[in-house]
Amino acid sequence: MHASITSAYLARYRSAAADSPVELLPLTGAQRRFLITRRLAPHGRSDVVPLFFAYPRGTLDQDRLARAAAAVAARHPALCGGFATVRGTPVLRVGGPSAEAARIPVAPGGTAREALREALLDWPADGPALRLLVAREPDGDEDLLALALDHAACDEQSLGVLTAELSEAYEKDDGYEKGGRPEKEDYGDGPVPQALADYRQAVELQLAAEDAAGGPAAQAHWGRRLGGLTGAGGGAATSTGMLTERLPAADGAARGAVFPALLDAAGVAAHRLHRAPGSPRAGAGALALGYPWGGRPVGAPAALGCFLNTLVHPAGSTATDDLDALADAWWDDLDHAGTPFDEVVRAARTAGAPWTGALDAMLTMEDLHRRPPLVLGGTPGRETHLAGRPLAAPLAVSASHGDDLLVRLAWDSDRFPAADAHAAFDDLLAVLRHHLHARPCPDSHG
C-alpha cells in the first residue's frame, strides 16, 4: 500500500519545523495546492478571493480601514506572518498582521473597476494575505472597495467571519476620531497564544481527516466515479468574459436541489463549450467539473483559514432526467469529500482515466445568508461583481443564493467565442429552470 500524500507531507513538515528558529505551522491540503500552483504559474500569481462593495462617495476613511484591517488580521494566524516554503515544504511562518488598505489610482479615462482588476492581478507573491483596496473615478459618486484575500488563508466560512469582524472593528475605531481612545493599539506581535493553539489544532485535525480519507475504500470510490474521465485540457485563463442572470431563490424542499441542479447545468454548459462541433475532442467522454467543499473537522476550533477540498464531478454531455439519482451519487461523493485532490487524481488514473488532473470547469456556490453585510461608517456596502478576472479553469460557474439565485458564467475569451459562451449560458439556465421549477412545493403531498 502506498504512503498517503498527507502523511508524507507531515513527516517533511515536522523535520522542517524542528530545525526552524521561528514557529512554523502546517498547511491543509488545499493550502499546499494553492502554494504549489502559485510557484508553477507563469507569473507566480496567487489565487485570490475578492468581494466587491460600492459605497457612497466620502463614506470610507482610508486610515480607519487600515486600522480595522490590522486589528482583524491580528486575531487570526492565517492572516499573520506569511506562507513560505522551507526546505521544499510549504508552511505558514508565524508573524505579525499581514494586511493592508490602499487607495488605487484610476488612470485618465479609466474606471475604478479596471483599476481594481489590475491591482488584483499584481498581488504580491509574498503577501499580504488581506487587502482592502479602494478606487473611484475623479467625477464618480461611489467608492468601489475590494475586500480581497489570498485563497490559502480563506474559504467561504471565513468570508462571513471577516465581513462581521471588519464591520465591528471599523465601528469601534470611531473612538479614535472622537477621542475615545487616545493611543493606537499595537498589532505587531500578531495572534495571542490561544489563537495560535486553536489554529494549529484545527489544521492538525484537518490533516488527520485527510490522511484517513485517502484509504482503499476512498480510492476505490473515486476510481469508479472518475475512471471514465477524459478531460478536454483545462488550464488557467487570464482574458475572460462574464454573463449573469438572476433566478428566483429556491425555498423549502427545493433548496436541497440547488447544488445538484447546478452540477448538472454546469456540466451541460461545459460540454457545450469544450465539445462544440469541430472541436478535436467533440463527442469524447466525461469532463472534470471541480467544486470546493468542506468545513472545519468535527471538534475543531472555528479557526479562520482554508479548510476545504476540491471535489470532482464527472460531467456528462446531456442533462439528466433523474436529478434525484444525480443527487444520490453526489451524496456518495460527499461521503469521501476528505480525500485529498492529488489522491483523487491518482485513483482516477489508476482506474484507467487519461486525465492529467486539470479541471475543465469550476463550480462554486455561496449561501449569502451565512455572510453578514460589510457595514462601514454605518453604511452597508452594495455588493457587485467584476468581469474579466483570471480563472483557475477555462470555464467557471458561480452561484450566490440569497434573496434570489444570482448565476454567473465566466469563460476563457481567448479559447471560446462569445457566441458559444452565450449559447452555453442559455443551456445552463434552461437546465436550472427545468430542475428547480419542477421540484415539489414544501406543502405538497404525493
Give the CATH number, domain containing residue 196.
3.30.559.10
Among residues 156, 179, 207, which one ends one of the domains? 207
Separation CA 173–CA 71 (nearest Å): 10
Question: Which pLDDT belongs to residue 231?
Answer: 77
How many Cα atoms are found within 13 Å in the side-chain-facing hemisphere of 279? 19
Q: Residue 199 domain-assigned?
A: yes
> Taking a C-beta distance cutoff of 8 angstroms, is the pair 428, 409 a contact?
yes
Q: Residue 78 domain-assigned?
A: yes
Q: Residue 443 domain-assigned?
A: no
Question: Which pLDDT belongs to residue 93?
Answer: 95
Among residues 207, 224, 250, which one ends one of the domains? 207
Residue type, 168: E
Q: Examine the domain organization and report whether 284 and 199 are in the same domain.
A: no
Enumerate long-range contacts of 428-432, CB under 8 Å, 24 or more apart.
Answer: 428/265, 428/266, 428/268, 428/269, 428/397, 429/245, 429/247, 429/265, 431/261, 431/264, 431/265, 431/268, 431/319, 432/247, 432/261, 432/262, 432/265, 432/407
How confident is residue 279, by pLDDT bands cut at 50, 70 and 90?
A: low
C-alpha cell belonging to residue 423 = 449559447
- Checking DSSP bridges between strand 99-103 and strand 130-135, what pairing results, if any? parallel
Inform me whether the pLDDT recorded for 423 exceeds 70. Answer: yes
C-alpha cell belonging to residue 415 = 479559447
Q: How many domains is the chain partitioned into structurally? A: 2
Inform me whether the pLDDT recorded for 442 exceeds 80. Answer: no
| Domain span including residue 377 | 215-437
In the β-sheet with 382-384, what is the strand arrangement from edge to edge? 99-103, 130-135, 142-150, 48-56, 382-384
Which pLDDT tens digit goes with each residue over 207-241?
Answer: 999 999 888 999 999 999 999 998 777 777 778 89
- Mean pLDDT along residues 392-407: 93
Residue type, 251: D
Which pLDDT tens digit goes with each residue over 3-17?
Answer: 788 999 999 999 999
> Taking a C-beta distance cutoff of 8 angstroms, is the pair 172, 378 a contact?
no
Inform me whether the pLDDT recorded for 281 exceeds 80. Answer: no
Inform me whether the pLDDT recorded for 395 exceeds 50. Answer: yes
Inform me whether the pLDDT recorded for 342 exceeds 60. Answer: yes
How confident is residue 317, by pLDDT bands cut at 50, 70 and 90?
A: confident
Question: Which pLDDT belongs to residue 277?
Answer: 65
Among residues 163, 191, 207, which one ends one of the domains? 207
Q: Examine the domain organization and report whether 169 and 54 are in the same domain.
A: yes
Q: Residue 442 domain-assigned?
A: no
Q: Examine the domain organization and report whether 297 and 346 are in the same domain.
A: yes
> Taking a C-beta distance cutoff of 8 angstroms, is the pair 371, 160 a contact?
yes
Measured in degrees and rounded to the nearest 5, phi and psi for residue 27 equal -115, 150
- Mean pLDDT along residues 21-48: 84
Q: Examine the domain organization and report whether 189 and 54 are in the same domain.
A: yes
Q: Examine the domain organization and report whether 344 and 230 are in the same domain.
A: yes
> Taking a C-beta distance cutoff of 8 angstroms, is the pair 233, 406 a contact?
no
Q: Examine the domain organization and report whether 231 and 192 are in the same domain.
A: no
Question: For all residues of the chain together, what is the average pLDDT?
Answer: 89
Q: Examine the domain organization and report whether 229 and 245 are in the same domain.
A: yes
Separation CA 120–CA 151 (nearest Å): 13
Inform me whether the pLDDT recorded for 382 exceeds 60. Answer: yes
Which of 70-74, 188-192, 391-395 is predicted most confidently? Answer: 70-74
Which pLDDT tens digit goes with each residue over 35-88?
Answer: 888 877 666 677 899 999 999 999 999 999 999 999 999 999 999 999 999 999
Q: Residue 446 domain-assigned?
A: no
Give the CATH number, domain containing residue 222.
3.30.559.30
Question: Which pLDDT belongs to residue 124?
Answer: 81
- Which position has the higher pLDDT, 237 or 195? 195
Which pLDDT tens digit goes with each residue over 156-181?
Answer: 999 999 999 999 999 998 655 554 44
Q: Examine the domain organization and report whether 303 and 392 are in the same domain.
A: yes
Q: Residue 444 domain-assigned?
A: no
How confident is residue 444, by pLDDT bands cut at 50, 70 and 90?
A: very low
How confident is residue 185, by pLDDT bands cut at 50, 70 and 90?
A: low
Max CA-CA distance within the chain?
Answer: 70
Inform me whether the pLDDT recorded for 144 exceeds 60. Answer: yes
In percent, how much of the chain has pLDDT > 70?
A: 90
Instruction: Select from 206, 188, 210 the least CA-distant residue to 94.
Output: 188
How confident is residue 147, by pLDDT bands cut at 50, 70 and 90?
A: very high
Question: Which pLDDT belongs to residue 72?
Answer: 97
Q: Examine the domain organization and report whether 306 and 175 are in the same domain.
A: no
